[in-house]
């Protein structure tokens, strides 16, 4: 293959720059910027859900939403401009009430786009679940079962796990990183107490805490005081092959392979409800900042309308908003944005 490439280069060909084919498609109006970014997203997608969201944006879901908002703003802009041109004659091309209603709708739609970003970000980076519980509750056993390998050491000795052990699995189409942690207890052992600190810190920044309680031991005072810190935690009773879980609680037994599917489907539901992004989501910081700028400008325009300012003042902010959306889709282009986007591509795309 190298020989063929060398021969082609001798005959005048050259190696393509990163993202060059996609960039050309953009320059020739075949793709807009959001679609071009989606190609890179699609290549980098780690799960089926990520891939399908990227594909939706490649097909134009996000671009269509942004363009629709921008068109409604251009409608208002052109009429306000016309009113300026004929200001002597006192013509009105759009009523103040209509203009405000359109801008208000644009604010609502842009804000809804911003909301998709939080979800969109979860779609890219996935979720974090942290397993907490007293020593010997069966945390490492659960992690091993979920990842399907002997990732963490399991022994009957309380205090086996010290450091955090993390593994990523796919649940509900998203990557979910599961952290197994040191069992929570008062410990005089320096290494163990550092591990316990780390466990709590990991839980603080996690999306969901799975708090395991050994059903054969039951809920202890220590569990209660610990659970007071993790109000949204899911309490899961383990080792239900030895003692059944209390009525109405989640129970699992890894040894008897009981309740695991149910736990997984609860996680799957959580992922879908809270984090799966809708089609046409903002998926990166560039897109997000563009819409932040748009909302900011629209709010300023509304403020001017309410204060009864001149068209000129209102127009400044409406232009700022429509430019932000134009930069988002690439309807308006800036050289440095192009470089930034296409330099991240791999060669030959």
Chain contacts with Mg ion (rule: CB under 5 A)? 139-140, 160-161
The structure tokens 């009773």 sit at 237
State both tokens at 263.
């736990």
Please choose which of Mg ion, ligand GTP, none residue 137 contacts, taking the beta carbon within 5 to 8 angstroms, the exact cut-off set by kind: ligand GTP
305-314: long-range contacts at Cβ-Cβ below 8 A with a sequence spacing of 24 or more? 305/96, 305/99, 305/100, 305/103, 306/100, 311/80, 311/81, 311/83, 311/84, 312/84, 314/80, 314/99
Pairing of strands 174-180, 165-171: antiparallel
242 binds ligand GTP (CB under 6 A): yes
* 239 binding ligand GTP? (CB under 6 A): yes
With binding defined as CB under 6 A, does residue 138 bind ligand GTP?
Answer: yes
**Half-sphere exposure (CA, 13 Å, Cβ side) for 333?**
13
> Judged by CB under 6 A, does residue 121 bind ligand GTP?
no
Enumerate residues 6+ apart whose C-beta is below 8 A from 313.
Answer: 304
- For the bound state, the minimum distance from the C-beta of residue 235 to ligand GTP, rounded and expressed in Å, comes to 14
Strand pairing report for 174-180 and 127-133: parallel
**Per rule CB under 6 A, is residue 183 in the interface with ligand GTP?**
yes
251's contact among Mg ion, ligand GTP, none, with CB below 5 to 8 A by partner kind, is none
- Among Mg ion, ligand GTP, none, the one that 322 touches (CB under a kind-dependent 5 to 8 A) is none
C-beta closer to ligand GTP: residue 117 or 211: 211
* Least distance in angstroms from the C-beta of 195 to Mg ion: 10
| Token pair of 279 as six digits | 């089609």
Distance CA 317, CA 183 (A): 56
Q: Of the candidates 81, 115, 241, 279, which one interacts with ligand GTP according to CB under 6 A?
A: 241
Alpha-carbon distance of 96 to 20, in angstroms, equals 46
Least distance in angstroms from the C-beta of 149 to ligand GTP: 14
- Specify the DSSP element, H or E, that contains 66: helix 61-85
Shortest reach from residue 255's CB to ligand GTP, in Å: 4
- Which one of ligand GTP, Mg ion, none interacts with residue 123, CB within 5 to 8 A by kind? none
Binding to ligand GTP by residue 332, rule CB under 6 A? no
The option from Mg ion, ligand GTP, none interacting with 255 (CB < 5 to 8 A, set by class) reads ligand GTP
Describe the crossing of helices 285-306 and 335-342 by its angle, rounded to 10 degrees: 150
Structure tokens at 269: 């539901």
Judged by CB under 6 A, the chain residues 139 through 158 that form the site for ligand GTP are 139-141, 154-156, 158
Per CB under 6 A, 159 contacts ligand GTP: yes
User: x-or-dash pattern for ligand GTP, window 246-275, by CB under 6 A?
Assistant: -------xxx--------------------
Helices (H) and strands (E) in the chain, counts: 13, 6
Q: Which residues bind ligand GTP (CB under 6 A)?
A: 133, 135-141, 154-156, 158-161, 182-183, 238-239, 241-242, 253-255
């Amino acid at each position: 293959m190298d020989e063929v490439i060398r021969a082609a280069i001798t005959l005048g060909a050259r190696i393509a720059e990163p993202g060059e084919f996609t960039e050309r498609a953009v320059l020739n109006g075949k793709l807009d910027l959001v679609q071009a970014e989606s190609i890179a997203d699609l290549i980098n997608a780690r799960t089926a859900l990520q891939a399908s969201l990227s594909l939706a944006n490649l097909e134009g879901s996000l671009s269509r939403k942004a363009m629709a908002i921008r068109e409604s703003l251009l409608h208002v802009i052109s009429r306000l401009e016309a009113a300026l041109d004929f200001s002597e004659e006192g013509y009105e091309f759009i009523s103040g009430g209509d203009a405000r209603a359109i801008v208000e709708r644009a604010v609502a739609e842009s804000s809804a786009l911003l909301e998709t970003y939080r979800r969109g970000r979860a779609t890219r980076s996935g979720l974090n679940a942290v397993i907490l519980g007293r020593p010997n509750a069966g945390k490492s056993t659960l992690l091993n079962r979920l990842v399907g390998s002997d990732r963490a050491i399991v022994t009957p000795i309380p205090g086996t796990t010290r450091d955090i052990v993390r593994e990523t699995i796919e649940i509900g189409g998203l990557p979910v990183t599961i952290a197994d942690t040191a069992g929570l207890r008062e410990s005089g052992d320096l290494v163990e107490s550092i591990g316990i600190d780390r466990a709590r810190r990991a839980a603080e920044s996690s999306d969901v805490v799975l708090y395991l309680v050994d059903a054969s031991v039951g809920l202890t005072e220590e569990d209660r005081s610990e659970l007071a810190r993790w109000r949204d935690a899911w309490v899961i009773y383990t080792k239900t092959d030895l003692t059944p879980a209390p009525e109405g609680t989640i129970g699992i037994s890894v040894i008897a392979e009981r309740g695991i599917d149910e736990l997984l489907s609860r996680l799957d539901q959580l992922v879908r409800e809270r984090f799966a992004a809708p089609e046409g989501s903002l998926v990166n910081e560039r897109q997000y900042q563009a819409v932040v700028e748009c909302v900011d400008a629209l709010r300023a325009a509304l403020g001017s309308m309410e204060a009864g300012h001149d068209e000129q003042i209102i127009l400044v902010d409406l232009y700022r908003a429509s430019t932000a959306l134009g930069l988002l889709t690439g309807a308006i282009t800036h050289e440095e944005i192009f470089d930034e986007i296409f330099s991240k591509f791999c060669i030959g795309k």
